[in-house]
Structure 1
Amino acid sequence: MKLGGVYFFTDDGPDPVEFAQAAEDRGFDSLFLPEHTHFPVSRESAYPVAYGGGELPSFYLHTLDQIVTLSMIAGATRNLTLGTGICLLAQHDPIAKAKELATLDLLSKGRLVCGVGFGWNREEAEAHGVVWKKRFSIIRDKVKVMQALWTQEVASYDGAEASLAPSWSWPKPAQPRGPKIYLGGAGPTTMRHAAQWADTWYVVPPPHDPTLEESIPQFWKIVDEVGRDRDSISIAVASAPPDPVVLEKYAAQGVERAALWIDPATSPSQGMANLAAVGDVVAAYKG
């Protein structure tokens, strides 16, 4: 099982380039960056219990732009896999996002993983014009538009929520099929979407099942129900606890990658210390 990290880079935390270089030197295989564009003050959406619940942590309000930060990291690292973990794709134009991601994959020599998710902050999404109840089908169709642009000489797609007339678009990604699509989240709806069209189910461990010993069998059952070949899809864990016992249980269940949660910090020194602590877990796991 590969071990990476998840980190919220902010305007008052560690330098992303120095942090990513240290992560690569410590043996992390990947680094995933979350995304939020803004937070309407009149927010009614509760901060999810799966992420800690209660008051919204301040780092959400200070998060750096996902793609700009990943681009800086790409230019300063050698082998580190770069993850959008996750991109709130419903809030973006898929044609522009496809070119942005294709360019990043090309210039990083094929190191990009494209994590997408449905989001939890309704007010944020609606500020971008997203119809909240349609976000599942919106993201599915926008992913299909991006994949068409990445892989087809003359790209086209006809979907209910996003379409593309026959079009030319370059550059193509370095990866021939384009970056792998990780679909983030938990629960049966996300499982079913992942089983139908994602490359990887990028599961956030629910509070009642931190080791995923209930969730993973449920997911494989859905994969079988939709007629998907199990060998064509994998499982990765988002914001995994840096706990060796839990990680061993993930590996025993065939998880391909775990992106370990690294606590965000409001000082550069504390951010690097948090990275070092999780890095010790990575080193011990790898033996």
Structure 2
Amino acid sequence: MRIATTIFLTDETITPVRLAHQLEQRGFAGLYLPEHTHIPVSRETLYPAGGELPPEYGRTLDPFVALAQAAAVTERLELGTGITLITQHDPIDLAKQIATLDHVSGGRFTLGLGFGWNVEEAADHGVAWSTRRELGRDRMALMRALWSAEPTAYEGEFGSVRASHAYPKPVQKPRGPVVGPRTLIGGAAGPKLFAHIAEYADGWLPIGGRGLTESVPALRTAWESAGRDPKDLQVIPYAVLPSPGKLAHYADLGIEEVVLQLPPAAEPEVLRTLDAYAEYL
């Protein structure tokens, strides 16, 4: 099983360069970074995990800038977002950022995308909450047009682009309906999410990794009903606090990669956590 990591990198934590060096030297498979552009102080949205929102949410580094630093100082480490808040981006700009990062990293980028939970943050980006999933789907379709081998136009409900010259292209080749880098969708299990995964992604990033005994078969049913090859589905538990039993359970479900949570801390604490996680490599 591949063991990757995720962390809230901030202006107060270990740096992207130091972390990337340590992950590659120790044999970890990848680094995924979350995204929040800002956290409005006067917000009404409850923190999904309960309690007060941790301060690192308002201090996150831009994941694409941080991952570009990580790409520059590593050769094998996989790089991903967990997750890109896709509706909060201009899709033409985002397509260029993603393709560039995948190009300069030699095809090591994974686009983990999601639809967010903070209503106030999304509203400042002009996102109507009730339509965010369809908006995200539309954003992906537009980006796929820009990543296509030949100039391809797209006219959608929320955006459009003319047939255009748009380079670089993502390194990974098209896979059925998926164009671009490996694409994983985060979110809670449910028919709508699973339909989106089956339509335009390579798999699912379930946060915390709970309840997979029931939800993975449901996703596989949706996947196969959409005509996708069962062997191509990827389920990657995300932000997991590991134990030997938990990882063995994932292996029994056919899961081949897991993303472990690192503390949003300075270098000494992060390295101690990597030392503790070494038993899972």
TM-score of the pair, normalised by structure 1? 0.91
8 Å CA contact retained: 1:211, 1:249? no
Please state if 1:187 is matched with 2:189.
Answer: yes
Q: Is residue 2:71 matched to residue 1:68?
A: no
CA distance in 2 between partners of 1:9 and 1:126 (Å): 24
2:105 matched to 1:108? yes
Cα deviation code 1:213-237 (max 9, x no counterpart):
1221222222244443323422111
Q: Does residue 173 of structure 2 align to residue 176 of structure 1?
A: yes
Cα deviation for residue 211 of structure 1 reads: 5.4
- 2:79, 2:234 → 1: CA distance? 18
SS in 2 for 1:154: coil
- Counterpart in 2 of 1:93? 90
| Counterpart residue type for residue 270 of structure 2 | G
In 1: Cα distance, 2:214 partner to 2:32 partner: 25
Give the CA RMSD over aligned residues.
1.6
Q: Distance in 2 between the 1:223 and 1:212 partners?
A: 15
Secondary structure of residue in 1 paired with 2:19: helix
Q: Quote the Cα distance in structure 2 between the aligned partners of 1:87 and 1:276.
A: 28
- Note the alpha carbon deviations across 1:235-273, whole angstroms, 9 max, x for none: 1111122212111111111113211111222x3322222
Deviation of 1:83 after TM superposition, in Å, equals: 0.3
Partner of 2:15: 15
Question: Structure 2 CA distance, aligned partners of 1:231 and 1:148?
Answer: 26
2:206 match: 203
Contact 2:113–2:185 (8 Å) recurs in 1: yes
Q: State the shift of 1:101 in Å.
A: 1.0
Deviates more, 1:74-83 or 1:234-243: 234-243
Number of matched residues? 275
Query: Helix, strand or coil: the match of 1:238?
Result: coil
Query: For 2:18 and 2:262, how far apart are their aligned partners in 1?
Result: 15
- C-alpha contact 1:211 1:250 (8 A) present in aligned 2: no
Output the amino acid matched with 1:277. A
Equivalent position to 2:144, from 138, 144, 147? 147
Contact 1:28 1:282 in 2 (8 A): no
1:37 matched residue in structure 2: 37
Percent pairwise identity = 43
State TM-score, norm by structure 2.
0.93
Unaligned runs of 5+ in 2: 175-179
Alignment of 1:41-52 (within 5 A): 41-49=41-49
Question: Could you list the per-position Cα deviations for residues 57-107 of structure 1 after superposition, in whole angstroms to 9, with x for gaps in the alignment?
Answer: 111111111111000000001100000111001000111111111111111
1:248 equivalent in structure 2: 248
2:6–2:32 contact (8 Å) kept in structure 1: yes
Residue matched to 1:118 = 115
Partners of 1:150 and 1:281 lie apart in 2 by: 40
